[in-house]
Copies of this chain bind each other. A is one copy, B any other.
Amino acid sequence: MHLLFLGTGTSQGVPMIGCDCAVCASSDPKNKRFRSSLLIQNDRQVVIDTGPDFRMQALAHRLQQVDATVYTHCHTDHIMGFDDLRRFCEITGTSLPVYGSQFTIDALQRIFPYAFDSNLKVSTYVRAQPHIVAANGEFSIGNTGFIPIDVPHGNTPTFGYIILDRGVRKAAYLPDCAALTDSMAGALRDIPLLIIDGLREQPHPTHLHIEAAIAAGRRVGAKITYLTHLTHNVSHQERQKTLPDGVFLAYDGLRLEL
């Protein structure tokens, strides 16, 4: 199983429109962050979240196949590229399995109603096969398993996911997360790889910040922690140097073998 980071940025991406700070003006590709999204490459290819950059991400990595999508929540930076999944429906001639909470699937249906219309016969439109994920409702896509974890993130119901390969817990992905609750800490205990919202240096009401994300990794006993969903306040090269052992900044295009 491989994980490919399609995007590691927060809602505005990096560079940010109309900003000339050192990170936004940087030519370092590791300081260029599309909206957060993760591709899981196993016997099936699964994308977690499809923000507005999804087409650019698919082109950057020459994606030819997406077998299913899984959503953490329905904020715009995680779903507005949904229509660009149409090509994968067109290529395969079938509808695409789409997993998310009832709240998230309802939002997708409100925003992209045609995709959920089973009478629609246009072969070039995105066609979704919705799968409602319940809290604690584990599910599998081929050999890849997903255990949803309820995550605090403002008023929007949000999941993180523990990712399993043939039943073995390999990683957890929580790109939007305001805190590590006791219940989350229990579920994540001894996870080998924690990928978690690190946002920026300063605390934020609906996201972890870097120190809190590092502390979360330590608390659950993660062997390796990757910080994602980063703003333009975080300079990759500079900040990576000062992180503790076993803690890394994720970047667009990073591919991990698990």
A16 at interface, CB cutoff 8 A: yes
Q: Give A34 Cβ to nearest chain B Cβ, in Å.
A: 9
| A17→B55 contact, CB < 8 A | yes
Copies of this chain: 2
Q: A76-B112, A80-B81, A112-B76 are in contact. Are A88 and B18 (CB under 8 A)?
A: yes
Among residues 210 to 248 in chain A, which have CB atoms less than 8 Å away from a CB atom of chain B? none
CA distance A17 to B96 in the complex (A): 16
CA distance A81 to B64 in the complex (A): 24
A83-104 near B? 1/0 per residue, CB < 8 Å: 1101110010000000000000
CA distance A52 to B54 in the complex (A): 9
User: Which of B52, B59, B86 lies in contact with A15, CB distance below 8 A?
Assistant: B59
A63 at interface, CB cutoff 8 A: yes
User: Which of B19, B64, B83 lies in contact with A76, CB distance below 8 A?
Assistant: B83
A110 at interface, CB cutoff 8 A: yes
| B87→A12 contact, CB < 8 A | yes
| B84→A83 contact, CB < 8 A | no
Task: Please indicate the chain B residues that have their CB under 8 angstroms from the CB of A254 in the complex.
Answer: none
| B52→A17 contact, CB < 8 A | no
Q: Which residue among A12, A53, A55, A110 has the maximum number of chain B CB atoms within 10 Å of its CB?
A: A55
| B81→A18 contact, CB < 8 A | no
User: Which of B18, B83, B91 lies in contact with A80, CB distance below 8 A?
Assistant: B83
| A86→B55 contact, CB < 8 A | no
CA distance A88 to B83 in the complex (A): 25
A135 at interface, CB cutoff 8 A: no
Cβ-closest chain B residue relative to A76: B83
Q: Give A50 Cβ to nearest chain B Cβ, in Å.
A: 10
CA distance A81 to B16 in the complex (A): 14
Task: Please indicate the chain B residues that have their CB under 8 angstroms from the CB of A52 in the complex.
Answer: 52-55, 80-81, 83-84
Task: Please indicate the chain B residues that have their CB under 8 angstroms from the CB of A179 in the complex.
Answer: none
Cβ-closest chain B residue relative to A79: B80
A13 at interface, CB cutoff 8 A: yes
CA distance A111 to B65 in the complex (A): 28
Between A and B, 22 residue pairs with Cβ closer than 8 Å are A12-B84, A13-B55, A16-B87, A17-B58, A17-B84, A18-B63, A18-B65, A18-B91, A19-B87, A52-B52, A52-B53, A52-B55, A52-B84, A53-B56, A56-B56, A76-B83, A77-B83, A80-B81, A80-B83, A110-B110, A110-B111, A111-B111
Q: What 3 pairs across the A-B complex have the smallest Cβ distances?
A: A17-B87, A76-B83, A52-B52
